[in-house]
Amino acid sequence: MARELRLAMIGAPNTGKTTFFNGLTGGRAKTANYPGVTVERRTGHFRTPHDRAVELIDLPGIYGLAGRTLDERVAVDAITGRIEGEAPPDLLLIFLDATHLRTHLHSVLELKSLGRPAVLVLNMMDLAERDGTKIDIEALEKALGIPVIPSNAARKSGREALIRRIDDILDDALQNPGPGHIHISARELKSLQSEARAIANSVILHETGMNTLTRRLDNIFLHPLLGPIILASILFLMFQAVYSWANIPMDLIDGFFGFLHDQAKQIRPDWLSSLLADGIIAGIGSVLIFLPQILILFAFILLLESSGYMGRAAFLMDELMRRAGLNGRAFIPLLSSFACAVPGIMAARTIESERDRLTTIMVAPLMTCSARLPVYTLVIAAFIPREKVWIFNQQGLVIFTLYLSGILSALIVAFILRKTVTKGETQPLLMELPSYKLPQLWDFVLGLWQRIWIFLRRAGTVIFTAVVALWVLASFPRGENGIRDSFAGMVGRVLEPIFHPIGFNLETVIALVPGMAAREVVVAAMGTVYALQGNEEEIAGSLSQILQNAWTLPSALSFLAWYVFAPQCFATIAMVRRETNSLNWTLFMVGYLFALAYIAAFITYRVALAFTG
């Protein structure tokens, strides 16, 4: 009696393997775990037209032979015969979505390089034809050197082409079993990817206008030279716009809160007037003035995401990220961290390698989140003239430098971590790029509103609570030395000697304490502290004008250097604790960031002192 033949179904996720499996086996599947792991496999049985008994194995989806996840490693081990007690399959049924031929053809070449008997099942042909895509099946079969069978797994008639040819294919497979596993180097992988693009260009006779446009745009945006220049230009424009486009609405908000402050000062009794004017209005107003800049930053990020460009940016950054020990997929969580480190850290879940994911989480807080923007803007407005450097805004150049410092610091720290505590092999980048598209106006507006609402909600809860608490601590008990004799002053005097070497005065130290709740709270706290101890003429001006008189230039630069690194955000720390499920990693992150912040502020302060005298 002839033995039962084993056919393994392999391919990228969502290519219709399971639908095809159910159609051939009548849905009678046996599910069990592979030996020693929790990964499930589904097996079923059917008989060919020549009455051959076949065992059909539905393997987890893979994007190539790298085996980045446990599911992928088990699938690769199954087709290469490396699972103990199991022979390799007699035939590989490689599934490919015909509507994404360009995207996944390289994985077909990888699987073919194993040398095992294989057949390409070009599934979802009905959808490809509906969208206007035409593929030369004979040319594809000739280019690949294996049978190519068009299919529609959802219909019985769509599976008939494979059923009719299955016996002949099995005869060839049994006569030429193949050598088995072949290791593919990184250089060979790039060669296969180039070959896949060339084959796709030759066999796709016609495709939709959007697909054609996407390819033409990718020739520009993913060009080795033009691509990075365009990406750098987009980011530079974003930071210039943050300053150049926000001046008028910021002046209007500043004037509105100045009016509220003046009105609140006329309220009696004096303690209520001080709470409203010097506490709540001065504190919250100091943060909300930066809402236009944050709106512009979020708008740019949303446009990059919704247009399909964000994935291209990840590919452009892949080489640089790999030099730092990461892969390009880490770029998306890190870029998301420009808005807020919390969703950026959560987005690291998409990174398959645990070491890459952990490293990304550890450096995500170094990205310049929107909460740092009020801090940077406040100090820059006070100490950097609003002048042009050639055609560029000088203040915009400074903030671009601060953002760039965060990015470079993250790459350097990632490189050190990958060489030490998270040492391991870097996984290659593999991700599916969407077509370019125009953002939907409603989705864009809704996404922008959701992000702004989060900022406003923090202003109404976290910042409000912090400034009221700080007003109480900074107002009582009242003494001859003003704020120095208050509860807040007492705490500040204890910490002042620690921060004196980096140029921070008592008021700055007091503001840093509530600023641990969220980075932007430090601006509100400084607004409250200086409002409480300033005279009427001082507090009539903006906070940036007050800082010009209260700080020196070296102190201001030191403060900026501190905020490039300092992990002053409880939400970020809590998210790191949740995502790593490790107190040790959380304490490690907090410790190294505070150490970097102090060292950077100390060096900046001392160098600035040397140059300014």
pLDDT band at residue 565 using 50, 70 and 90 as cut-offs: very high
pLDDT at 529 exceeding the cut of 90: no
Q: State the average pLDDT over residues 159-175.
A: 82
- What is the structure's pLDDT at 31? 55
Position 269 in a domain: no
pLDDT at 536 exceeding the cut of 60: no
Q: What's the pLDDT tens digit per position in 87-103?
A: 888 888 999 888 778 87
- What is the structure's pLDDT at 197? 84
Of 27, 57, 20, residue with least CA distance to 42: 57
Cis peptide upstream of residue 477 (ω within 30 degrees of 0): yes
Measuring CA to CA, how many Å separate 62 from each of 12, 43, 66?
5, 18, 9
- What is the structure's pLDDT at 262? 82
Mean pLDDT of the chain: 81
Q: Residue 365 gets which letter from DSSP? A: G
Q: Please report, in angstroms and rounded to a whole number, the separation of the first and last CA atoms in the chain.
A: 96
Quick one: CA dihedral 463, 469, 470, 471, positive or negative? positive
pLDDT at 540 exceeding the cut of 50: no
Note whether 460 and 287 are within 8 A (CB): no
- What is the structure's pLDDT at 210? 61
Element at 212 (helix H, strand E): helix 209-221
- What is the structure's pLDDT at 599? 96
- What is the structure's pLDDT at 15? 81
Position 175 in a domain: yes
Quick one: CA dihedral 283, 289, 291, 297, positive or negative? negative
The residue type at 570:
F
Position 395 in a domain: no
State the residue for tokens 């939709």. Answer: 208
- What is the structure's pLDDT at 38? 45
State the residue for tokens 């392999």. Answer: 10
Is the model more confident about 216 or about 215? 216
Q: State the average pLDDT over residues 294-313.
A: 82
Q: What is the pTM of this model?
A: 0.63
- What is the structure's pLDDT at 178? 60
Q: State the average pLDDT over residues 146-170.
A: 83
Cα–Cα distance measured from residue 81 to residue 76, given in angstroms and rounded to the nearest whole number: 9
Of 112, 90, 106, 97, residue with least CA distance to 19: 97
74: domain CATH number?
Answer: 3.40.50.300
Q: State the average pLDDT over residues 416-434.
A: 73
Token digits for 437? 């598209």
pLDDT at 539 exceeding the cut of 50: no
Note whether 91 and 119 are within 8 A (CB): yes
For residue 47, what are the β-bridge partners? 53
Range with the lowest mean pLDDT among 31-35, 285-289, 361-365?
Answer: 31-35
User: Which range among 45-49, 316-320, 559-563, 573-577 has the greatest average pLDDT?
Assistant: 559-563
Q: ∠ CA 449-455-459 to the nearest 5 degrees?
A: 135
Burial class (CB in 10 A: 0-12, 13-18, 19+), 252: exposed
Q: What's the pLDDT tens digit per position in 38-81?
A: 456 778 888 888 888 888 888 888 877 776 666 777 888 888 87
- What is the structure's pLDDT at 535? 43
Range with the lowest mean pLDDT among 51-60, 333-342, 378-387, 510-519?
Answer: 333-342
The residue type at 404:
L
Per the structure, the count of domains in the chain is 1
User: Which range among 160-174, 366-380, 498-512 has the greatest average pLDDT?
Assistant: 498-512
Q: What's the pLDDT tens digit per position in 169-189?
A: 888 877 766 655 556 666 777
What percentage of the chain reaches a pLDDT higher than 70?
A: 89
Range with the lowest mean pLDDT among 257-271, 410-424, 524-538?
Answer: 524-538
pLDDT band at residue 215 using 50, 70 and 90 as cut-offs: confident
- What is the structure's pLDDT at 469? 82
pLDDT at 430 exceeding the cut of 70: no
Range of the domain at 198: 5-207
Position 58 in a domain: yes
Q: Residue 366 gets which letter from DSSP? A: G
SS3 206: strand
pLDDT band at residue 564 using 50, 70 and 90 as cut-offs: very high
Q: Which residues contact 437 (CB under 8 A, 6 or more apart)?
A: 210, 306, 307, 308
pLDDT band at residue 538 using 50, 70 and 90 as cut-offs: very low
Position 188 in a domain: yes
Q: Is 124 left (phi over 0), alpha (psi -120 to 50) or beta?
A: left
Cα–Cα distance measured from residue 559 to residue 604, given in angstroms and rounded to the nearest whole number: 9
Position 87 in a domain: yes
DSSP 91-153: EEEEEEEGGGHHHHHHHHHHHHTT---EEEEEE-HHHHHHTT-EE-HHHHHHHHTS-EEE--T
Position 281 in a domain: no
- What is the structure's pLDDT at 366? 92
Position 167 in a domain: yes
